[in-house]
Structure 1
Amino acid sequence: MTPVQKLVGMVLLILVLMAVSAGAAWQVQDWRMGKQVAEQAALHKDDLSLISAAAAKQYRDETDKRLTLEKTLDGQDQQHTKELSDVQRNQARLRDQLATANVRLSVLLAEDSASGCDVPTAPGAAGVVHAVRRAQLDPAHAQRIIAITDDGDNGLIALRACQAYVRTITSRAKN
């Protein structure tokens, strides 16, 4: 063998040994990194499961709060609806009684200071109470007065319903 061949063989041998050692080092690093990546993945998985459990609990809590609020509001709505229907039924009955003249609206008259007597001047079925003088209203006027009070009653019921709704929502929002 010639010295050049020996030199080339030596260079090839060194290159092969370098490649083998680099491959072995690469393999060892791969094993180490694989182990670290697996450990990090396990930790990440545990963290994700804890976060998911916390989010699920918070979602359940918020859903329970929402359902409780909806149930409370539904109960209040039913109560106010019943109250409104009762008032409307009473108003309709009063309007019917006014229309059929079963009931007549009257107003107090100012006391007649000239006569000084609280006894009615005309005999009749005015009743037993003599101290108060009244005048009956025309049925058309009575109907208009009842319509005005109906609107006022309906408005007050709606206002109470709105106030109860706002109170319930704000008290739930604070919790």
Structure 2
Amino acid sequence: MRFFELISAPCRLMGLLLLLASVAGGSFASAWRVQAWRYEALLEHQVALQMDLLNQQSQAALRRQLAEQQKRLALERLLSANDQQHVRELSDAQRDQGRLRDRLATADVRLSVLLDASDPARNCPMRAATAAGSVVHAAHSARLDPTHAQRIIGITDSGDDGLIALRACQAYVRAIAR
């Protein structure tokens, strides 16, 4: 007798069903495992693609940030150079104005105004400027009082300072607008 024949028919059927279930379950489990491996590989590939995309985007953002930073630094250098130039112009103008004030105070230079020779209201004859090195050629002129000359120089100094400040502001606005 065979071993298989010793087992009763219902137990054989149960054993056969158990064998078929284990074979089916094993194949299902192995198919499940193979699919899991495939999906893991697919997900790993998608994650790698996503990482590459994010890396490219972050590098592009970094390049844009560096370009903007370089633009800002160039603008700062330009504004600093313009500022230094305007400060230099202002100090030169102030130095020149100070020299002129000193020369007026020491009577090195006299301010004078030209008079209109055809003016009928002028009834007192003025002498012509005869100073050596004068630019006025035999025209009638009158000298200003030194205190009035100082006031006029002060007014022109303020005007010169204002013009230099205006030029500096305009250069700043032009640099920012670019």
Q: Shorter-normalised TM-score: what interval? A: 0.7 to 0.9
SS in 2 for 1:107: strand
Match of 1:127 in 2: 131
The structure 1 residue matched to 2:144, chosen from 137, 141, 154, is: 137
- 2:97–2:157: 8 Å Cα contact kept in structure 1? yes
Stretches of structure 1 that go unaligned for 5 or more consecutive residues are none
Q: Does 1:39 align with 2:37?
A: no
Structure 1 length as normaliser, TM-score? 0.75
Q: Does 1:74 align with 2:80?
A: yes
Stretches of structure 2 that go unaligned for 5 or more consecutive residues are 1-6
SS in 2 for 1:103: coil
After superposition, the C-alpha distances for 1:94-127 in whole angstroms (9 at most, x for unaligned) are 111222222222222332656x9xx8559xx843
State the distance in 1 between where 2:116 and 2:42 align.
101
* % identity of equivalent residues: 52
Query: Equivalences for 1:1-175 in 2 at 5 Å?
Result: 19-111=25-117, 113=119, 120=126, 126-127=130-131, 131-171=138-178
Equivalent pairs counted in the alignment come to 169
Aligned-residue RMSD, C-alpha: 3.3
State the distance in 2 between where 1:7 and 1:84 align.
112
State the distance in 2 between where 1:127 and 1:2 align.
150
State the distance in 2 between where 1:64 and 1:165 align.
18
Structure whose alpha-carbon radius of gyration is higher: 2
State the distance in 2 between where 1:147 and 1:7 align.
123
State the distance in 1 between where 2:144 and 2:152 align.
10
Match of 2:4 in 1: none
State the distance in 1 between where 2:19 and 2:64 align.
66
Out of 53-62 and 154-163, give the one that drifted further. 53-62
After superposition, the C-alpha distances for 1:24-59 in whole angstroms (9 at most, x for unaligned) are 343222112101101101111221222122222222
Structure 2 length as normaliser, TM-score? 0.74
SS in 2 for 1:37: helix
CA 1:157/1:130 → structure 2, altered by over 3 Å: closer, same or farther?
Answer: closer
